[in-house]
Amino acid sequence: METPAIYPITDLRQDATNLIGRVCETGQPVYITQRGRASAVLLSMEAWEQTQRELELLRLLSRGEQESAAGVGVTLADVLAEGDALLTGKGL
C-alpha cells in the first residue's frame, strides 16, 4: 500500500495547479490538512466518477437485498441490466 500524500491547506493555496496535476497523473488522492487535522480529499474526476459508480452499485445491491427480504423483487434480467448499465458508465 502506498503512503498517502498529505499536504497542508497552505500548499493547496500556493500551488493548486501542481497538486491537481499530481492527483490527475497518479490517480491517487491527496489529503488536505488544516491545523494538523484532515479536512478534505482531492480526487481526480476519473477517481470520483468511479467511486460514484461503485456507490450506486452498492445502493442497487442493498435495494435488492431489502426487496428480497420484503418478498418483493424484480427479475434477475432486470438486476443484471441495471448492473451492466452502472458498470459501463451509462447510469440508470
Residue 92 located in a structural domain: no
| Cα distance from N-terminal residue to C-terminal residue, the chain | 33
Instruction: Give residue 58's Cα distance to chain centre.
Output: 12
Is the pLDDT confidence value at 2 over 70?
yes
Shared domain check, 30 and 14:
yes
Is the pLDDT confidence value at 92 over 60?
no
* Structural domain harbouring 39: 5-43
CA distance 20 to 46: 13
CA distance 12 to 20: 9
Shared domain check, 56 and 39:
no
Higher per-residue confidence, 70 vs 44: 44
Residue 16 located in a structural domain: yes
Shared domain check, 53 and 38:
no
Q: What is the mean pLDDT of residues 30-50?
A: 95
pTM across the whole model: 0.67
Residue 81 located in a structural domain: yes
pLDDT in the model for residue 44 = 95
Q: What is the CATH number of the domain that holds 19?
A: 3.40.1620.10
